[in-house]
Each structure stands twice: as structure tokens, then as C-alpha cells.
Chain A
Amino acid sequence: MSRIGVFVCHCGINIAATVDVERVARELGQDANVVFATDYKYMCSDPGQQLIKDAIAEHDLDGVVVAACSPSMHERTFRQAAGDAGVNPYRCEMANIREQCSWVHQREPEQATEKASEIVRTLVAKVQQDEELAPSYFPLTRRALVIGGGISGLEAALGIARSGYPVVLVERQDHLGGKMARLSGTYLNFEAAPGLLQRRVEQVLSHPHIEVMLQAQVTGLDGYVGNFQAWVADVSAREAGEPPAEPRRIDVGAIVVATGWDPYPLNRLPEYGGGKILDVVDGLTFEQMLQPGAEIRRPSDGRVPQEVVFVQCAGSRDPERGVSYCSKVCCMYVAKQAMLFKQRVPEGQAYVFYIDIRSAGKGYDEFVQQAMEAYDVLYLRGKVSKIFARGDRVVVWGADTLVGRPVEVEADLVVLATPMLPGSGALTLAQTLHISADGYGFYNEAHPKLRPVESLTAGVYLAGAGQGPKDIPEAVSQAGGAVAKVLQLFAQETMVQDPTVAYVVEDICSFCGVCVPACPYEARELDPLRRVATVNAALCQTCGACVVACPNKASRIHNWEPGQVLAMADLLVK
């Protein structure tokens, strides 16, 4: 017989308005293994936790079930409380009667109450068979790997190094800086990008904690959070046609992926003369003409263009022929480029075709207004249908939907504001690092709101335009967030390993290997000497795939034993 306590939470009115919490506590109190049951307004509050601790002491409890919200919300809270009061934390379980009951059954309170009691009963059955477990601890490597030497990678490397930890910065090109090195003046104050960047590059190169590896690429990754082994290969030999050197092994505890973006190939826009007409260029090419010291000249004949047409959303927001997403920075850089053009060629005329202006951000809309009002840039609201050459000029067909008329502009130069694509090779790198990417190849964050700088693989963090189009301030902020995550990890004395992971009952394992490919986290291997499957506990995410896959029930998860699952099911399937 166990001595289990059941604690039913109201969650204010979240649960109590639908589920009769008192009745649930009363009903569970009758269970032979439950020696104490009560309800309370907020179990997670300090008094709520104290209530649990007091009950443990008073009734000599050896197991706890908290009927409340999802375990991903508060399992840690209640296990901590139970542990403090002397109950093994792994004999404290949560019964989810909020997300899986009260919230979804608001119209049927009677049945919701019955369902809540059933859910709690299954957890009471589980706790009876829960073993007393203890977490394990292992050391971690306090060195970080940063992949990509653009502004985000530079910021991440500096942030970690300045906190006192060594950093290896891997960049596949022969210089640092990424795309920012090719920009002109940046919005909002036209400060020159190369200057801003140069300071950062020098700080990185001179920092004693940062080792920079140029013309290098990560080709393999083993291990797990806190203890990765990365393999970094020199790609300069391959480019020079020589045999590649052996990749170098670098042990790190955390990884920041900052591989940035690449431009959209112009020849994917044949309707705009992309790749066919020399005087149709993309935004990045025009940036280079606007750089300090450079000149604005037509690629075809070197003349200074007088009439320049900017085409926004060229290839973006176009699910049929281009990419569906908004590239986020182009509305802003077009305004900037149009103004810089007018500063250099005051008698020139700039036209901007746009669908709508996306200039959210502090000071951003004012900046675009400045282009319209102070610089007389002519903004025409309409999509461009076609661009072609007429003599030595470039004809742009668009529309001005505000007056409802088609428009033709004969220009000297056309700038296509094309979308940022994920860096080439991003998908290969994602596979190497076991992180996921979306359909375009932008890395996926672990949660779009609450975990925006983490990948789904513990210890691998994201920064910059590789995760989605962003401008420099955003890239820098995300890099700061990634740094904070790395430091949070490095601040731990040791890595804690949760014990509720998969294991193999070796006596009945038939060495069939079915579980190995079933595991999505590459946590399983076959041991050819002992002829059994083994689990790398640090990689196991307790997903259960191997348990289902194993034909012999040899693969199991601690405290999710077959006997427990069956006992729980028995209560539900009558």
C-alpha cells in the first residue's frame, strides 16, 4: 500500500469554473492508496506549495499527485517542493486537468468533473509503481563554437568571450563580416556599415579568448549539450584543388549558428529582365555602388543614371513564382538607397513601386516619410508587371493603383528589392547539427514566442538572418539572446541528467536493431560486443518511439514501465 496525497488546484477559475474540484478531491480521497486529498486556489503559489509540504510531513506521504495544469508548466515546481519535504521527486506526478480537461470541456461541467477524476486516478495508479530515482551529473565543456562570421556571429563570439569563455569562430569565407561588409550607409542615420563592422572585426580578431578559423566549415558533430565534439574542415585546400586535410576535432559545450542569408538569384526573375538586362540590378549590388568611395554607374555603359526605379517585393510575397514571405528589410533599405541616390545625384529622380510599406520599428516609418517628403522620391503603389529593354533604357511597366492607371517609366537603372534567402548550404549544416529548418531553409526556433533563440537540439542556439530575414539591430539582439543562453548553460556547475529516460533490459534484447532508426534523436546504438542496444541517456528526450518499436519490450523508459502504462489504461478502458 502506498501513502499518496492528491492536491487538486483551482487555477483561479481556470479549472474550478468548469470542474467541481471539491468533488474530485472528495472522490479521490476514497481511493485505498490515497491517504490525503484536498483542493486549493493556486497550488503553485508559495502557500500552495507549503500546503503540500505540510501534508507530506503530517500524513507521512510517500507519493504526490498534483491535479493542475500541464507538467511542462509546473512539474519542476512540484517535484522540487516534494523533494524538499522528503518525497522522492520522481514519485511526484502531475495530472493535467486544465489543458486536457477544463479548458476543452467548458460546456459540459458534469462530464468534465468525471473526466478530471479519471485522469487523477490514472496518475495515482502510476505513482504507486514509480521508482525512487536520482538524476545523474556529468561535467561540461565551457567553450563555445560560433558558426558564421557575419555581424550576428561576431556579436555572439564577442559576448561569450567577454564573459570569460573561449570561443572558436568558424567562417567559410576568407574574411569576417558577412554581407554587412557590402552595405553602404545603414538606416536610420546613414552611418557607414564598413566602419561599424570594422570595429567589431578588430575586437574579435584581437580578443585573446577567440580563435578565428577562416575558410573552414563544420562537417560533423557528435556528443550532446555540454559535451559536443565538432569536426571542422579547412576548405581552402579543396578550393585550391588539393587533397583536403583531416578535419580538426574541437570539443565545445554550446553552439551558436549564425550563417546568415544569401541573395535571391536574379535569373529567377526573367519577367523583370533579371540576368538578361545589365542595368537591372539587385539591392545588394546597388549597395556596393553607394559605398563610400564607390560610384553610381550603369553596369552597361558606365553612365551616371538619372532615373532610377526601385521595385519592392521583387520575388517576395509571391507564392506563385517567388517566395511567400516578406523579407522585412527591403522597404527600409529601398528608402535608404533612394535617399543616398538623391544625395549623390541631386538632379536625378527616384521612383519606388510598392505593394504596401512595411516600416514597423522605432523611427522606421518617419525614415520612409523623409524619403517621400524631403527627398521627393516618387512612391507609386502598384506591382510591376514587366521590365524590358528599349534601346539603351529600361522600361518598367507598373500601375499606380491610387489613381487606377497603368504606368510606364523609362529608366536608366532598375533596382530589384529581392528577398533574403537562407544561406546556401544551410540545409546541409542543419543535418550535420541535427537541427531543423523550414521549407525555405531558415532554421526553426524551438518555440516561435517563448524560445526564439534556441533550436530544438539542446545546446544549439540561433542568431541572425539564418533563422529568418532581419536587419542588423535585430540580428544583434538575437545574438545577445543566444549569448545569454550559452552563459546560462555555462553557469551550471555540472550538467544534470534527468533519470526518466529510455533504457534496455539487456536480458531480453535480441539485438534486432529495430529501435536504432526509430529514435529521432540518434540516442541509440548497437553494442556489437555485448550484442545489445544501448541508450545515450544525454541524448534521449523520452519520446517513447523506441519503446513502441521494440518487438521484445526490451526498450523501456524509467517510470513509464509497461506495468504502469497498463495499470493506467485499465482504469480508463472498462
Chain B
Amino acid sequence: MDLQLLVTIFPQVLLDGILLGFMYALIALGYTMVYGVLEFINFAHSEIFIVGAFVGVEILLGLKSAGLLEAIPWLPVLLLVLVAGMAASGLLAVSIERIAYRPLRHAPRLIPLISAIGVSFFLQDAIRLFESIWRNAFNLVYPTLDVLNRRYDLTSTIDIPLKSVVVIAAALLMLWALWALVNRTKIGTAIRAVAEDQAAASLMGINVNRIISLTFLIGGAMGGAAGVLFGVQYSLVNPYTGFIPGLKAFTAAVLGGIGNIPGAMVGGLVLGLLEAFAASYLSLLTGGAFGAEYKDIFAFSVLILILIFRPKGLLGEVVRERA
């Protein structure tokens, strides 16, 4: 075992894990917020996420073909793309709830779940159809902004591309904003009240349906932001790209304690780090017996172990009711 190598790559692996973790965390918020208010798994959230990525790539490609991409400074471009992706995904999530879930609110639990799976497949192929007609291709590549690929040396052996700094900063900013909204504002308190008891919340004068829409809007917007950041970081998007990160983000939400917002953040980071370390270290530590392709097996084994000992997740339910 090459100890020297383990130590040398550690910061790079840590950075990869944090990046991936923030991505999962942002996506996981959509699952967990919706679960929190409706006890329902929004299976279509992986496509809400990838729609954000597609809106982003379309705007960037549009700017590029208009020759504007290099003409405008990168920060406004990135902000524009981020805001547009968030708006599109947020509004999409609200519409999905209105059309495909709300009419089924009082149906047996399995029914809206099946509706969500249907929406998920529908969106995948709708994106594919649209892009096939519009661009004659549905595997798209994010146009690179040269500045974003500039690398900064942290030490003599580690450097970090600007885009990773930007992705981490944007994710942190959004997680903080969401935390502040949910915990420090009246509307955020109302979201938590509705999550706990819809009937009691309506007796406070809270319009429960409006709060549910708002929850989809916020969760969807976070997913859309994750989509744009995903595109910026990993470049390739296709209509089916959302599925696996969506599934992993959902797992992250369960790991953190589904319905629990800080839990989604923690769960996302834990899963991202597990995956990154497994990808880089498994092969080194086992002398090549297990390669990077075993990363998911390793990461998910750890998850299963954690859930055996903490079935409600890392941050699940601490308050117990007293009679």
C-alpha cells in the first residue's frame, strides 16, 4: 500500500467529495421538503433537477451562438443561468404538484407515487423530444467559460479550478438562504407548522395549499440550481442524467432523516464524501482487488449500516411528545 500516495491525493479526494456532497444536498432538499409536508416521495424530482441543467445549457449555448458568451463577464452569466434554472425548475415543480399530485391528495398512498413515476418518465422523454427537434441531439455539453477552468494552486501539489470554488460557494449560499428562510421567517415557520399538522395549521389561518405550493417551488428551485451547478461542474447532460444523482440524493435525504432539512444537507455531504473516498481509496487500500467501480457498493453498505443503527436517519426526530 502506497501510504505516500494516500496522503498526497487526500485533499483532492476531499474536494471531490465535498463538491459531490453539496450537489446531493441541494437535490436532497427537494425530496425532503416535499416529504416533510406531504409524506410523499416526489419521484419526478430527478427530472425537475435535470430540467434546471437543460435550461442552463440552452441559455449558455444561446449566448455562445450570439457571440455573447465571452463578451459578458462570467459572474453575471452564471447568475443569469442559475436564476433561470431555479425559476424553471421551481415553476415546473409547482405545476407538477398542481396537475399530477393535488387531485390525488386523498387517494391511497401508492397512487400519487405512481403518478410521480409517470411524470418522471414523461419528462425524460419530453426533454429528449424537445432537444431532438430543436438541436437534433439530446446529449449536450455545457459550453466552457475559460475563466472557470482557471486553476489556483493551494499548495505545490493541490490546485483547485475556479468553477469548483464557484459551485461550492453557490451551494453554501443557497443552503444558508434556505436555512434562514425556514428558521428565521414567518413563512418558514408556517412551512414547519404545515409539515407537522396540516389541520392545526389551517386553524391558524395558514392557507395550507399555498404553503405546499411554496414548498414545491423552493425544493424545485434548489433542484434547478443543483442542475445548473451539475452542468457547470461535470459538463455532460442528457435527459436521463438526472436519474442516478436523483436516486442518490433521495438516499442522502433518507440518510439524514427524511423530512429533516439540516438532515438532507448532512446526508448529502456524508454520501458525497463516502462515494469520493471509495472511488479513490478502495483500489489503493485493497491492493487493486476492488476498483473504483465498487464505490457505490461501498457507499451504500455504509448507508445500510447507518440506517440499521439509526433507522430514522442521522438527524431524524429528536423531540419526543410528553402526555
Q: Please indicate whether A and B come from the same complex rather than being unrelated chains.
A: no
Residues of A within 8 A of B (CB): none
Residues of B within 8 A of A (CB): none
